[in-house]
Amino acid sequence: MSVNTFEKIINNLNIDTSKVPKHIAVIMDGNGRWAKKRKLPRIAGHRKGAKNVTNIVEAAGEIGVKFMTIYTFSIENWNRPKKEVDSLMNLFEEVLTAKLPQLMKKSVRLNLIGDLSSIPETTRKKFNDAVDKTSKNDGLVLTVALNYGGRDEITRAINKMLKNGVRQVDEETVSKYLDTNNV
């Protein structure tokens, strides 16, 4: 969509851009069910979800959202059939390749949270390359939650604190060790 299209949508909806939230989150859920309801393969639903979230990211940046988190792949998603997981990893790579120029043009900075150690090397490399290439961008900060789970994040934070010899734990200290410490 063009900027003019977004301006028309914003004007038609009477969005007061001074009251836009600083941070919004999107949980990508229901794509497989959407496809099944239409008698399509599950990956068709994931592709549709990727297209929709791309439009949402663009719109969020246009109306002045500063931070956006997209929960794309939970730890529990590894329990899906291998073919579906492989298709999702391939889709992540395709979307990153196709959308990186747009992220650069819109000055979007990409950030990752989650346990990336289990992500296939090629997918992890694509994400890390995109994070590096967008690191100096100063627009919307787009955080992708990949192989993410809240309890896992807390467990990893505690392990980092123990490794660093933290003896006193308070809310501020825990926050410093969370994946989301920069949001």
Q: What is the mean pLDDT of residues 27-49?
A: 93
Per the listing, tokens 């390749």 go with 97
- Give yes or no: 77 in active site: yes
Please state the pTM of the whole predicted model.
Answer: 0.83
Nearest to 95 by CA among 140, 127, 133: 127
Which residue in the list 12, 16, 29, 90 is annotated as catalytic?
29
The residue from 52, 77, 90, 137 that is catalytic is 77
Q: Which of 134, 155, 154 is nearest to 143 (CA)?
A: 134
Predicted confidence (pLDDT) per residue in 140-182, tens digit: 999 999 999 889 999 999 999 999 999 999 999 999 999 887 7
